[in-house]
Structure 1
Amino acid sequence: MDTETLYLPEDIIQEILSYLPVKTLLRFRCVSKSWYCLIGSNRFIKTHLLKSKTHLPRHERWQNIFMSNSKNPNLLFKRCPHDDLIPIDDPINHHLIRGSKFVGHINGLVCIRNLPALFFLWNPATRISIQLTKPDCELECIVKSGFGWDPQSDAYKVFAVLSKKKIRVSKIYSSKTNAWKTVEQHGSLDLVDVDGEFSNGRIHWLLRNGWIETFDLRSEVFGRIELPTKQMVGDHIWLKSWTQCDLCVVYYDSDKKMREVWLILLELGEKQSWFELELDMRACLPYFKSKPCYCIESLMPPVSHKIT
C-alpha cells in the first residue's frame, strides 16, 4: 500500500512547539539540528515566554521553587498547586550555602546572593546557572541589592551597594555586557529589607520612614513613592511583586494578622495610584502569608542567547 509523507509548514511547527513545557522542549532539541537552533533562538525563547505568561491559568503559571518563610533557600522544591515537597536536584546546589539569599526573579531567571558579595543568575527550568564576576572594588559588604529587567536594552540587571565603614560604592551588572559598572548614587540605606522588589522596570525598597524608594533600571535614577496610608510604618509591612507588573504592599497588625493589601497602579504619564484589594481579590494572588520564591518556567538563558 502506498504511503504518503505529510509535512507541516515551518511556522505551524514553531507554533505547536511554543506551547510545550520547557522540559519537553529541552528533550526535543535532539530531534534535529533545525529544532535545536529553533528552540535555542532568541525569538523562539521570547515567544515561548510570552505564551507561558498568558496561556496557562494564573494559578498554574507559577513554580514555587523554595518553600521557606524567609529568603534563605532550604533546598526544598514545590510544584504549585501540589503540596508535595521534594529535594532539589540541580547543579545550583553546589553554590547554595546557609547564608544564600534570594535577591529577585524575572522571566524565569532567579538571582541569588552569597555573602559577602557573590551573585548567581539561575534558570531552574533549564538548570543553567552562572556565577557573576565580582564587582570591581575592594568593598564586600552588601547593604542594598535588587534584580530586574530593562525592557529597552533587553538586559537583566543586578544592582548592589557595597559598603565598608562609611565608604559606599554603587554597582550595576548587565547581562548584555556581562560586566559591572559604577552608579553615582546609592539612595537611602534605612531599609526594611536589603533586597528590593522588581516591578514595571523599577526596583522598589520599603523605607522605614513610610516611603517606597525606586530605582529605574533604564535611566538609573532614584525616585520615591508615598505609602497609601500613614500608619504603614515599621516592621509590619512588606512588598511583594509576582508578575513584575504589579506591586503589593501587605500590612499586618500587632497580632501578625493580615489587615490590608494594597496594589499600586500605573496610570498615563507613569503616575502612581493605590488600590486596596478586597478579600476575594487577595485570593487570586499566591501565598500572602509567606515569602517563597516564585518563578515562571522559561528557556531564558542567564547571559548567552544560546542554550548549552
Structure 2
Amino acid sequence: MAYIPKSLVFHFLLRLPVKSLARFQCIDKEWLSLISDPHFIYTHLKRAQTANDFRLLLSFISHGNVSTTIKFITINEYGLAGSDYSVHINSDSYRVLPSCNGLVCFYGVKGRIYICNPAIRNMVKLPGDDAKGSILLSCGFGFDPQACRYKVIRMSDSGPFKAPGDSKMDIFTMGTCSWRNVKYDERFRFLNRQPPVHASGFFYWITANNGSKGYMIASFDIGNETFEAIPPPKSLSGKNWPMFCLGELGGDLALIDMDFASEGKRRMDLWLLKEASGDENKKTWVKESIIHPSQPLDATRPEALDHGGSKVLLHGFIRGSDAFLNWYNLGTGSFRRFEIQEITSPFFHVGAHVESLAQLDG
C-alpha cells in the first residue's frame, strides 16, 4: 500500500462528517490516535462551525412509568432528518439546554445533570446529585475558549424551608470530579428558574437590581469566573422588563423585547450584543426587528439564525399557520414555513447545532 503523508491524511479527515470519522477510528491504531487527538477534534469543530452547513437539533421528551426518554434529531437546511439518538434516564422533570460545540446538557429538578454528544452517542452523568432535600433551580452549560474547557453552573436551594439567602451557586469543570462554590455579586437578585444563556464564553441572566428598582443583565465570565453588569440599550428605559427574555443567536447574546402590546403584539425587537467595529474588547447593541403584518408574535421565540445571518428561525404559534417553525427574512420582512416531517408535536426544543467529536470526560 502506498505511503500517505500524515499531514495529508489529517487534512483529508478534516473534511469528513463525524459519523464517518467515528467509523474510521476502527481502521487502525494510528487513525484512532489521530481522530481522537484534541487538536484534531478542535480543528474539525472550528472548520464545521465556519462551513456553510446549517443544522438544527430537535429534542423531544417523553415520560414512562419509571424512566424518561429524550430523543435528539438533527435537521439540515432543507428540513430533512439526519442522525437520531435517544437516552433513557431516571424519571424526572427535565430541561434541555442549547447545544454547545455539539454537546448537549440536560438536567432535572431532583439534581441530576447529564452531558451527551448525540453525534458519537455518548453520555455522562455529573456527580453531586445526592444532596437530600435540595432542589435544582437552574443550570447552564458553556465553553471557556481560553482554556478549552467546558463548565456547568447550577443554582439550587434546600427546599421550601430554606432560610433567606440560602440559595447557592456552584460550578463544575468537565474533567474534574467535584463542584466549587461561586460567590455571586450582591447587586444581582436572580428571579426565577430560567437558566442562564451561554454566548461566546459568558453566561447571562436578566436579574433584579438589589440596590434599586428595576432590572439589569448579569454576565459571568466562564474563564475567570467573575460577574459584571451589562448596561441594556438606553432606549429600553421605562419598558416592561417581564416582557423581555435572553437568547443566543449566531454566537451573540440576544435581548428579546416583546413589550409591544400597543402594536397588537405583532412585533418583537432583537438586540444583539456584538463586538464594536475595530475594538474586540468593546461591545455594542445592534437592533433587528421582526414584524408580522397581522398576527401577534408573543407565542413565538427566536431560536437560530441561518448561516448567512439574514433569516431568523421562530419557534411557536402564529395564528393562521399550522407550522411550529417559521423563517423570518430580516431583509424582506417576509415569513416562510419551515416544514419538518418528523415533527408530530409542538412540544420540543430546537436550536442551532454543529456535530462534533468532542469527548466527554466528566
TM norm. shorter chain > 0.5: yes
Moved more, 138-147 or 220-229: 138-147
- The answer to whether the 8 A contact 2:108-2:136 is kept is no
Aligned-partner residue type, residue 246 of structure 1: D
Q: For 1:1-308, what aligned pairs fall within 5 Å after superposition?
A: 5-55=1-51, 57=52, 60-66=53-59, 75=71, 77-83=73-79, 88-90=84-86, 92=87, 94-95=88-89, 97=91, 99-134=93-128, 138=132, 140-164=134-158, 165-166=162-163, 167-185=166-184, 188-191=188-191, 194-207=194-207, 209-228=214-233, 229-243=236-250, 245-252=251-258, 253-254=260-261, 255-267=264-276, 268=279, 270-277=281-288, 284-290=310-316, 292-303=350-361
After superposition, the C-alpha distances for 1:212-247 in whole angstroms (9 at most, x for unaligned) are 11111122211111222225533432211144x311
SS of equivalent residue, structure 1 residue 298: coil
SS of equivalent residue, structure 1 residue 105: coil
| C-alpha deviation, 1:123, in angstroms | 0.7
- The answer to whether the 8 A contact 1:65-1:295 is kept is no
| C-alpha deviation, 1:52, in angstroms | 0.6
Separation in 2, partners of 1:232, 1:96: 42
Q: Relative contact order (alpha carbons < 8 A, sep ≥ 6): 1 or 2 greater?
A: 1
| C-alpha deviation, 1:136, in angstroms | 7.5
Identity, in percent, stands at 23
Higher strand share: 2
- The answer to whether the 8 A contact 2:72-2:85 is kept is no
Moved more, 205-214 or 155-164: 205-214
5+ residue gaps in structure 1?
none
Separation in 2, partners of 1:130, 1:231: 45
- The answer to whether the 8 A contact 2:144-2:223 is kept is yes
- The answer to whether the 8 A contact 2:268-2:290 is kept is no
Separation in 2, partners of 1:193, 1:235: 14
| C-alpha deviation, 1:200, in angstroms | 2.3
CA gap 1:35/1:87 in 2 versus in 1, 3 angstroms: closer
- The answer to whether the 8 A contact 1:25-1:39 is kept is yes
| C-alpha deviation, 1:89, in angstroms | 3.7
| C-alpha deviation, 1:288, in angstroms | 3.1
- The answer to whether the 8 A contact 1:193-1:206 is kept is no
Aligned-partner residue type, residue 176 of structure 2: T
| C-alpha deviation, 1:139, in angstroms | 5.6
Separation in 2, partners of 1:126, 1:120: 15
| C-alpha deviation, 1:210, in angstroms | 3.4
| C-alpha deviation, 1:46, in angstroms | 0.6
SS of equivalent residue, structure 1 residue 79: strand
Separation in 1, partners of 2:228, 2:148: 22
| C-alpha deviation, 1:194, in angstroms | 2.0
The alignment's C-alpha RMSD in Å is 3.0
CA gap 1:126/1:220 in 2 versus in 1, 3 angstroms: same
**Corresponding position of 2:301:** none
| C-alpha deviation, 1:116, in angstroms | 1.7
| C-alpha deviation, 1:269, in angstroms | 6.8
Separation in 2, partners of 1:242, 1:155: 22
Separation in 1, partners of 2:254, 2:6: 42
What is the number of equivalent residue pairs in this alignment? 291
| C-alpha deviation, 1:198, in angstroms | 0.8
SS of equivalent residue, structure 2 residue 58: strand
Separation in 2, partners of 1:299, 1:151: 17
- The answer to whether the 8 A contact 1:264-1:273 is kept is yes
SS of equivalent residue, structure 1 residue 6: coil
Separation in 2, partners of 1:264, 1:63: 22
- The answer to whether the 8 A contact 2:85-2:118 is kept is no
CA gap 1:189/1:95 in 2 versus in 1, 3 angstroms: farther
CA gap 1:242/1:97 in 2 versus in 1, 3 angstroms: farther
